[in-house]
Amino acid sequence: MSSAEVVPLAGVRIAVVGGGVFGCTAALDLDLAGAIVDLYEAAPTILDRASRRNLMRLHRGYHYPRSVNTARLARDVAPGFERFYPTATSYDHDHYYAIAAEGSRTSVDDFVQFCDDLGLPYEPATPDFLRHEALDATFLVDEAYIDYERLKGVIERRLARSNVAVKTGVRATPLVMDTYDYVVLAGYAATNSFLSSASLPVPRRRLDICEVCVVRCPPLVGRSVVVLDGPFVSLVPLPRTDLSLLYHVDKSVHRRYDDLAAVEKDRLARLLGGTIRAEPESTNFEAMRRGAEEFVIGAQHIEYLASAFELRSVLADSFDTDARPTEVTWVGPNVLMLFSGKISTCVAGATCVREMLIQDLRAPSTMAPLHSQRIATH
């Protein structure tokens, strides 16, 4: 942002609710734009929920052949993420997308056509760690991973140098709506809890308690694979280690809900947050490992180390569409909701938040509640 652009939000008091990668990025951006920003994080540290407990792909689009908008957005915003967080991505691996021979909703022809249409580079490949008899094709692709430790480090350093007041261990309540000019809600799965206690409209979401296993799988060192497009496995690298993350589209999901209140009542919710456990009270590791055996040679020897659990929050109808949009929506007169799709969109999301706030300051009456901006590129 140039110094000329700093003026529009000067002196504007903003509460950002949620210290994940979306809230932190928005807080940094708004601070640069001159706003007085308080960043609320309910957990003892920032970046310890979904921003840590995920598969850390810096999506470029390959994963979403059934949602071209999601794929195009991922492709277009990834460079902006890398410019904003230049040290936070890792390319230290060969990354493959494989199409299952049976049960895939995307065929090889569909995938190739989709990559060609979006200009996503790929190379047919036959890496020695995959059971090619169970696959119709495998492609080496150009996709990076996010290095969580480096991302956290750079965000913490930038926050420390900024004027953002970081309030960890503080759960923001609807009272913030009265004490700030604006509130930016970036609470991911917990956002609906804030909205319902503020008597604001609550969007429909699908919520899944997901388990990601930290494993040692020697054939996968320096390599990663995603099997498309159905109830299949992914094994992805944990940057700068010899470890991988194991995920299975079906087996990783412990329970599925359509309402946050139902999650909060369920004893399984105790799995969420806290430390990444070596001995969780429940794990689907064995089922995931068997899922890996279908496609990965030597998967019977995958060594289990720990599990991370997170509540995934996606659009209620995303089963069919596979869409993972990032949206910025006016949900109250001074409340913007930043609903996060893929992590790579956090910089574009922060820009959208800033622009919508500036626009509202200039012409408040034009912004009706529930006006929404789905972030898109052309």
Ligand X SMILES: Cc1cc2nc3c(=O)[nH]c(=O)nc-3n(C[C@H](O)[C@H](O)[C@H](O)COP(=O)(O)OP(=O)(O)OC[C@H]3O[C@@H](n4cnc5c(N)ncnc54)[C@H](O)[C@@H]3O)c2cc1C
Pick between residue 131 and residue 167 the one whose CB is nearest to ligand X.
167
Among 70, 244, 340, 351, binds ligand X (CB under 6 A): 340
**Does 19 engage in binding with ligand X (CB under 6 A)?**
yes
Pick between residue 129 and residue 247 the one whose CB is nearest to ligand X.
247
Copy the structure tokens of residue 359. 């626009």
Pick between residue 198 and residue 299 the one whose CB is nearest to ligand X.
198
**Does 239 engage in binding with ligand X (CB under 6 A)?**
no
Among 20, 61, 219, 332, binds ligand X (CB under 6 A): 20
DSSP 177-190: HHHSSEEEE--GGG
Q: What is the rounded distance in angstroms from the CA atom of residue 75 to the CA atom of residue 121?
A: 11
Q: What is the rounded distance in angstroms from the CA atom of residue 27 to the CA atom of residue 19?
A: 9
**Does 280 engage in binding with ligand X (CB under 6 A)?**
no
Q: With H, G, I as helix, E, B as strand and everything else as coil, classify residue 30.
A: helix
**Does 54 engage in binding with ligand X (CB under 6 A)?**
yes
Closest distance to ligand X from the beta carbon of 344 (Å):
6
**Does 143 engage in binding with ligand X (CB under 6 A)?**
no
Q: What is the rounded distance in angstroms from the CA atom of residue 202 to the CA atom of residue 193?
A: 9
Copy the structure tokens of residue 225. 């694979």
Other beta carbons within 10 angstroms of residue 91's beta carbon come to 12
Residues 295 to 334 in contact with ligand X, rule: CB under 6 A: 310, 312
Q: What is the rounded distance in angstroms from the CA atom of residue 131 to the CA atom of residue 294?
A: 7
**Does 106 engage in binding with ligand X (CB under 6 A)?**
no
**Does 22 engage in binding with ligand X (CB under 6 A)?**
yes
Among 210, 260, 337, 353, binds ligand X (CB under 6 A): 210
Q: Which stretch binds ligand X (CB under 6 A): 75-83, 128-136, 224-232, 339-347?
A: 339-347
Closest distance to ligand X from the beta carbon of 346 (Å):
7
Among 55, 100, 183, 353, binds ligand X (CB under 6 A): 55
Distance of CA 178 to the CA centre of its chain: 30
Of the candidates 231, 206, 182, 138, the one whose C-alpha atom is nearest the C-alpha of residue 33 is: 182
Q: Which stretch binds ligand X (CB under 6 A): 19-27, 110-118, 128-136, 329-337?
A: 19-27
Amino acid at 36: I
Pick between residue 136 and residue 259 the one whose CB is nearest to ligand X.
259
Radius of gyration for the alpha carbons in the chain, expressed in angstroms and rounded? 21
Q: What is the rounded distance in angstroms from the CA atom of residue 139 to the CA atom of residue 63?
A: 12
Q: Which residue has the tokens 């004490």?
A: 179
Angle at 200 between CA 194 and CA 201, to 5 degrees: 110
Number of residues that bind ligand X (CB under 6 A): 34
Binding residues for ligand X (CB under 6 A): 17-23, 40-43, 49-51, 54-57, 59, 171-172, 186-188, 190, 194, 210, 212, 310, 312, 340, 342-344
